[in-house]
């Protein structure tokens, strides 16, 4: 039997996403210097995690689904690392 997520949980996640969206907007208006990008990416990562866990039902899914997601994120990390390695080591 599948786990059914309550409406209270959906509403709490929705409110959290709204608050995080507002914080993204407010952070973009602040001058944090070189920390603007990491702050925005951190907020975006939290929002993406909430969407994946609750709206895509990964929190209550099978182990195989979780493995597929971890492998996909690992592959994305490898590609990002290789791209940044190429970018950083270019001779300008």
**Could you give the count of Cα atoms lying within 13 Å of 89 in the half-sphere of its Cβ?**
6
Delimit the domains of the chain by residue range: 1-61, 62-92
Per-residue pLDDT of the chain (92 residues; tens, 9 = 90+): 566 788 899 999 999 999 999 999 999 999 999 999 999 999 999 999 999 999 998 988 899 999 999 999 999 999 999 999 998 888 76
pTM above 0.75, yes or no: yes
pLDDT at 2: 64
Q: What sign results for the dihedral spanned by CA atoms 64, 66, 71, 76?
A: positive
């Amino acid at each position: 039997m599948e786990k059914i997520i309550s409406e209270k949980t959906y509403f709490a996640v929705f409110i959290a996403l709204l608050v995080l969206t507002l914080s993204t907007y407010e952070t973009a208006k602040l001058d944090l210097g070189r920390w603007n990008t990491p702050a925005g990416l951190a907020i975006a990562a939290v929002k993406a995690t909430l969407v994946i866990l609750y709206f895509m039902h990964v929190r209550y899914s099978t182990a195989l689904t979780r493995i597929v997601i971890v492998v996909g994120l690992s592959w994305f990390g490898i590609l990002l690392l290789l791209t940044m390695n190429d970018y950083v080591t270019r001779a300008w």
